[in-house]
Amino acid sequence: MNLKKRTFNYEEYFSKYENLIPNYENFLFSLKFPIPQYFRINTLKVPTKEDQEYLLEILRKKGVNFEKIEEIPYFYRVLNNEEISLGNLEEYSLGLIHSMTLSSSLPVIALDPKPGDLILDMCAAPGGKTGLIAMMTEDKAIVVSNDKRIDRLTALVANIKRLGITCTITTRYRGEHFPFGIPFNKILVDAPCTGEGRYRVGLEGEILYQKGSGKANLPSIQKGLLVRAFDLVEPGGIIVYSTCTINPKENEEVVDYLLRKRQAELLDWESPLPFHPGITEWEGKPYHPSLKLSKRYYTHEIQAVGFFVAKIKRIN
């Protein structure tokens, strides 16, 4: 992970969330340790159980120690985290496995993609969620994978090819301006965010953050993306909005904005990992009461990147 140093103290930074994050002291303590690596088997290239067992045995012989994630099929947690770089493995280059934090699967699980769906992955690069959508639909959906930056599109296309996906179309638009056409059945908006769910702490107590996380005016961008997604999905269609940040202004407040601008409703969905319900008020500002159906995931409870996921239905 490409990390840079922030100069401010992590305890001071996160203090605004002290009453929001459960077991807050445990959360702060967890920031001092790296997030575990995870990988998933790519069943588009390794379809049978016999082949999957053979692949796992090869990885063991190469020194990768791992444990199966029982809650989410085909995912594994690397146990010798500091010794292994998954991206350097031949099995990764061949597309047999894909490095992906466990919680990144949650928006796709909420989306529940099916063969035959027409799906837009609005902010798709570098392609992990597009890859999981393709795998869950057995490469039999139509997935439009969009990103606005040409450098990120390069990584997206490379991952699509590496994973052996044939059901995707890649496009380059600002998500807020994605053109109208045939309405989508389902849209994933994994929005750009401050990435607080990825933050770690350095030796001097400084925050280490992901490069590029300091973008300005993110809530405005996020609201534009979500409203556009609503306008692009068919009546009765599904939108999943997700971020890897903690800030309610990038999470519940963005969904609340959509609920007040359009005829949409929040849906519940079965989560494979422990979560906390979304909040209905922040800093004295009330949000729509149905936001309790959104889900918050904290890094110290799931041993993965922190996430926010909301599943939304277009009423008409």
Assign 300 to helix, strand or coil: helix
Q: Has 310 been labeled as part of a binding site?
A: no
Give me the sign of the Cα torsion angle 70, 83, 85, 14.
positive
| Furthest-apart CA atoms within the chain: distance in Å | 56
Q: Has 127 been labeled as part of a binding site?
A: yes
- Point out the catalytic residue in the list 244, 254, 259, 291: 244
DSSP secondary structure code for residue 278 in this structure: P
Q: Has 147 been labeled as part of a binding site?
A: yes
Q: Has 110 been labeled as part of a binding site?
A: no
Q: Has 284 been labeled as part of a binding site?
A: no
Distance, first Cα to last Cα, the chain: 41
Helices (H) and strands (E) in the chain, counts: 10, 18
Is 244 considered catalytic here?
A: yes
Residues 308 and 283: their CA atoms lie apart, in Å, by 18
The CB density around residue 47, as the number of other CB atoms within 10 Å, is: 12
Nearest of 107, 96, 168 to residue 137 by alpha carbon: 168
The CB density around residue 223, as the number of other CB atoms within 10 Å, is: 20
Both tokens of residue 266?
Answer: 């929040």
Alpha-carbon dihedral 42, 43, 49, 50, rounded to 10 degrees: -70
Q: Has 125 been labeled as part of a binding site?
A: yes
Residues 211 and 203: their CA atoms lie apart, in Å, by 18
Q: Has 158 been labeled as part of a binding site?
A: no
Active-site amino acid positions:
244
Residues annotated within the binding site for S-adenosyl-L-methionine are: 123-129, 147, 190
Residues annotated within the binding site are: 123-129, 147, 190
